[in-house]
């Protein structure tokens, strides 16, 4: 007999990827499309407590917050490249999965409830142009399945690049 957990996660991610595609296709313009994608991620996954998109501002060497969805706004609307987990992922181009944010010295605190975080770069022409940042209230809320899924979402968002 198959293991229910092993099957549920990929199915949920597969369905959500189709929902993101549909939402992007239905949106009137790029800002709407980006917000719709953020909303799908937030609404489909209980562990995606705060979902935001940051875009690289090359002139300022900073990440700038775009669309987001969660219980509260973050004060970190601009993050210097290299600072925090977001800045690290933007600089390295590597997906960052942090199981316990309080054990990671790079962590830039946004919400007192956050316990874990995943940051997935968005690429265009081989360069990081932005990233998906997700915060969770559970320890170790994210794994490689989330990483692979969000990397696919990131590829869908890349053409919509915007400081929205």
Instruction: By CB under 6 A, name the binding residues for ligand SME.
Output: 52, 74, 76, 79, 84-87, 107-108, 110, 117, 133, 135
**Sequence-distant (≥ 6) Cβ neighbours of residue 143 within 8 angstroms:** 97
Whether residue 108 contacts residue 84, with contact meaning beta carbons closer than 8 Å, is answered with: yes
The residue among 19 and 64 lying less far from ligand SME, judged by its C-beta, is 64
37 contacts 23 by C-beta, under 8 angstroms = yes
By beta-carbon proximity to ligand SME, the closer residue of 107 and 123 is 107
Q: Which is nearer to ligand SME, 82 or 159 (CB)?
A: 82
Residue with token string 């290299």: 82
Residue closest to ligand SME, measured at CB: 84
Q: 68 forms bridges with which residues in the sheet?
A: 52
Residue 129: which of 95, 88, 159 has the closest Cα? 159
CB of 106 to ligand SME, least distance (A): 6
Task: Give me the least distance between CB of 133 and ligand SME, in Å please.
Answer: 6
Buried/exposed 56-89: b ≥16 CB within 10 Å, e otherwise: beeeeebbbbbbbbbeeebebeebebebbbbbbb
Toward ligand SME, which CB reaches closer, 19 or 138?
138
Closest distance between ligand SME and the C-beta of residue 15, in Å? Answer: 26
Q: Which is nearer to ligand SME, 18 or 102 (CB)?
A: 102
Please report how close the Cβ of residue 58 comes to ligand SME at its closest, in angstroms.
18
To ligand SME, the closest distance from the beta carbon of 10 in angstroms equals 26
């Amino acid at each position: 007999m198959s293991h229910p957990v092993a099957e549920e996660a990929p199915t949920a991610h597969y369905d959500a990827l189709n929902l993101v595609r549909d939402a992007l296709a239905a949106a009137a313009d790029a800002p709407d499309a980006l917000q719709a994608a953020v909303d799908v991620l937030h609404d489909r996954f209980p562990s995606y407590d705060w979902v935001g998109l940051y875009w690289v501002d090359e002139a300022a060497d900073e990440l700038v917050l775009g669309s987001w969805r969660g219980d509260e706004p973050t004060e970190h609307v601009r993050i210097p490249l290299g600072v925090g987990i977001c800045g690290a992922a933007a600089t390295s181009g590597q997906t960052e999965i942090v199981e316990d944010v309080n054990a990671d010295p790079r962590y830039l605190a946004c919400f007192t409830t956050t316990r874990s975080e995943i940051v997935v770069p968005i690429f265009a022409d081989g360069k990081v142009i932005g990233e998906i940042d997700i915060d969770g209230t559970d320890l170790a809320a994210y794994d490689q399945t989330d990483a692979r899924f969000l990397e696919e979402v990131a590829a869908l968002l890349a053409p919509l690049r915007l400081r929205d």
